[in-house]
Amino acid sequence: MVRLIDVRPLGQGWAVRQDGTANPQVFRSGARAEDAARALGARLARAGCATEVRIFLRDGALAGRFSCPPGS
């Protein structure tokens, strides 16, 4: 099963949400949110979980996806 991590706008900032967690991490900048999401994806992959990081724009469009295969 692939764990999903989304970076989406939240008010004036950006939220990083992952499957199975209730509370998002919140950042002022999208770049910092994306960096945190990629780092989280890498940690989960090293722990053996396939992970996909999805980045969304303010208009809701998908800007990019990054796969983190298990063990990477």
pLDDT tens, position by position, 31-72:
999 999 999 999 999 999 999 999 999 999 999 999 999 987
Domain extent, residue 28, equals: 3-68
Predicted TM-score (pTM) of this structure: 0.91
Q: Is the dihedral of CA 28, 34, 39, 43 positive or negative?
A: positive
Tokens standing for residue 38: 């990629």
Between 22 and 27, the higher pLDDT residue: 27
Check whether 27 has a pLDDT greater than 90.
Answer: yes
Number of domains in the chain: 1
The whole-number pLDDT of residue 22 equals: 87
The whole-number pLDDT of residue 19 equals: 86
